[in-house]
Structure 1
Amino acid sequence: MQKASYSSKGQGGALEICVESVRSALAAEQGGAQRVELCDSLVEGGTTPSAGLIEVTRKNISIGLHVLIRPRRGDFLYSDLEFEILKHDIAMAKRLGADGVVLGMLKEDGEVDTERMQELMVLARPLSVTFHRAFDLTPDPFKALNDLICLKVDRLLTSGQEQTALQGTALIRALVEKAGDKLVIMPGSGINAGNVYEIISKTGVKEVHASARKKVDGTMRFRKNYPPMSSVGQLSEFEFLVTDEEQVKAMREALEKSNAPIADKPARS
């Protein structure tokens, strides 16, 4: 099912693009990304993609494929039934050829749910595991980081507990220094070609995460605007947000000019 076998471990960093369609995954690959995070419903922060989307994406790209494991929008305190869904979705992602999973669980007090995370980690291996931006809702980021290091999580996606990664550079840098080589700190939220150099310079990160999206018009000729098909009002039924290959290229070029250690080959881990 996988087109290639490659690991970025020990070979520099990566440009990761979050996508919600095969079309966007292909654009990310053509633009020079080393890895995609495959999601559904990015307008709601992202949820687990379908089995069909994972399988068809895996068949059509050769770069790294990490799958978001998140059963719903909202907070990251999950019921027993939702925890069962998380476990089944991890198994599905493994079966369909994902290189990694992106997940996160918190307790009622906002701290990392280390007990349940440990169970998910065991299920996920040998895939790479990224702890997502649930981290940005924890009360003590350094305790949370230590918990993730003890869990042997591979990577942490964070905005530095701010709305954007650029605003959170001070905390991101502190996390990089504390984590050392025990865990990769990957900033995300609001990163683009215009600010990626500044973010790397201020934080010392080796990997970055971005969406690089644009709005496109659908191809239907007959268009009935009422009734609406969803409660999300950002787009009409005939508009889509897709990865912009040119934005990905621009970000890759900005990374290269900054001398960031971005891997030349697909980052499969």
Structure 2
Amino acid sequence: MHNSLIFEACVESLDDAIAAEKRGANRIELCSALDQDGLTPSPELTLKCLQHLTIPVMAMVRPRGGNFVYAEDEILLMEAEIEYFKGSGVAGVVFGLLTNDGAIDVENTRRLAKLASPLEVTFHKAIDYSDDILKSFQELNTIEGITRVLTSGGMDTAWNGRNILKQMQDIPGRRIEIIAAGKVLPANRLQIAEFTGVSELHGQRIV
């Protein structure tokens, strides 16, 4: 089983990205401003990483810190960023949108996922801030173009959310891959994978 695990390293610089690949990361999530849980990386940084890495790069699309409820002008900005990334050579994009009442913003998520095609799309930890994570996950499974969801099961760490992650993994008819995130480290990543059945894991210090 261990051979088939995918470790996605969350990075905000070229040096970190190169170091993560050397240490065995299978994929990069590229952001700026990790102190705000990750914002859209600059075009310059994105292109540098694509030139220097051999593993796939997923680019964050998040125009500002704070909540995940976006106004129309912010969605238009996210669309422009997705258009840029589509032409850049990244493997995919990462975004997450909620409504004011704590549900998935299905309409705008569908709109962005459709625009992002044929890139891979990860719906990020915004899902952990939704009111009903299992219901939200079932909704995401109905949206065309969503490849994965990044989640700690609504808890502060993936290990603490392991029971929810396992439930998400076992939902009948699931077609979206689950990436376990939240303090996933070399010391606990196998434990988390074995308990939950999840084969993709994500973290700033995953490798």
* TM-score of the pair, normalised by structure 1: 0.73
Q: Where do residues 58-97 of structure 1 align in structure 2 (5 Å cutoff)?
A: 58-97=50-89
- Structure 1: segments with no counterpart, 5+ residues: 1-10, 213-246, 249-269
In 2, the alpha carbon distance for the partners of 1:13 and 1:120 equals: 28
- Code of the aligned partner of 1:25: A
SS at match of 1:209: strand
Contact 2:39/2:62 (<8 A) preserved: yes
Unaligned runs of 5+ residues in structure 2 are: none
**Aligned equivalents of 1:39 and 1:80: distance in 2?**
22
Letter in structure 2 aligned against 1:188? A
Q: 1:198 aligns with which of 187, 191, 194?
A: 191
Match of 1:184 in 2: 177
Aligned residues of 1:145 and 1:179 also touching (Cα < 8 A): no
Q: How far has the Cα of 1:13 moved from its partner? A: 4.0
- The AA in structure 2 aligned to 1:143 is K
Aligned length: 204
> Which protein has greater RCO, CA pairs closer than 8 Å, 6+ apart?
1
The TM-score with structure 2 as length reference comes to 0.95
The counterpart of 1:38, out of the listed 20, 30, 40, is: 30
SS in 2 for 1:17: strand
Moved over 4 A (4+): none
Distance, in Å, in 1 between the alignment partners of 2:5 and 2:90 is 19
The 5-angstrom pairing of residues 81-120 of structure 1 reads 81-120=73-112
* Conserved 8 A contact 1:128-1:154: yes
- Pairing 1:141–2:130 present: no
Match of 1:36, SS?
Answer: strand
What is the one-letter code of the residue matched to 2:181? G
Q: Aligned equivalents of 1:95 and 1:54: distance in 2?
A: 11
**Pair 1:123–1:43, CA change in 2 (3 A):** same
Whether contact under 8 Å (2:141, 2:174) holds in the other structure is no
Counterpart of 2:33, as a letter, is: S
Structure having the higher Rg: 1
The equivalent residue for 2:165 is: 172
Instruction: Quote the Cα distance in structure 2 between the aligned partners of 1:121 and 1:56.
Output: 25
Q: Distance in 2 between matches of 1:29 and 1:182?
A: 28
Deviation readout 1:190-216 (Å, 9 max, x if unpaired)? 01111112211210111100111xxxx
Q: What whole-Å deviation, never above 9, does each CA across 1:55-99 have from its counterpart, x for those lacking one?
A: 111111110100000001100001111111100011111111110
The separation in 1 between residues aligned to 2:192 and 2:56, in whole angstroms, is 23
Superposition CA RMSD, Å: 1.4
SS in 1 for 2:141: helix
Q: CA deviation at 1:143?
A: 1.5
Map of 2:16 onto structure 1: 24
2:153 to 156, 160, 163: 160
In 2: Cα distance, 1:206 partner to 1:179 partner: 17
